[in-house]
Amino acid sequence: MRDKESANRGVHEPFYVMLKEFRIADLVITAHARSRYEDRSQGDGQSGKETAFWLWQCLKQKRVRVHSPDEPEMYVVDNDLVMAARIVEMPDEADLYGNPLYKLIVVSFLGKMSENIDLRDLKNYFARQRSLRRTPLMQSGRKRR
């Protein structure tokens, strides 16, 4: 999702965005993340390209931050929307100074903290999700015996 336009063609502007200590030069939104975004966050029928453009603008405007130091792969957009993402180094890509460039892969959108209070504490949220999945499995295991 690199910027395609440049005002002066002769001037080299950085085509990456800083997120923590990483230079993000590309953005990928998985199909699962796109469907979760449509279901849980906006629901206004944006296409994948529009979602990627919106998220790229959020990155450029520094509206994306780490959720907590304990959860390095969880990010918050506009202090509300929680997303899970991985940062992967791009092979054979570097900026003008030789620093490596990275790709942000959005794995999933968990939802908005304003609508789901449980997202404020992700450790308890994931523990609750695991126990909810485990309970039906345990019940069905008892039925088989």
What is the CATH T-level fold of the domain 17-116, as seen in this structure? Answer: YaeB-like fold (3.30.2310)
**Residue 30 confidence (pLDDT):** 92
pLDDT tens-digit readout, 73-132: 889 888 888 888 999 999 988 888 889 999 999 998 888 877 776 666 666 666 666 666
Instruction: List 75's β-bridge partners, or say none.
Output: 66, 83
Q: Return the H-helix or E-strand segment holding 56.
A: helix 48-60
69 band by pLDDT with thresholds 50, 70 and 90:
confident
pTM metric for this prediction: 0.72
Within 8 A by CB and 6+ apart from 100, the residues are 23, 89, 90, 93, 94
Question: What pLDDT, on a 0 to 100 scale, did the predictor assign at position 67?
Answer: 83
Q: What is the pLDDT of residue 10?
A: 47
Burial 105-118 (b: 16+ CB within 10 A, else e): bbebbbbbbeeeee
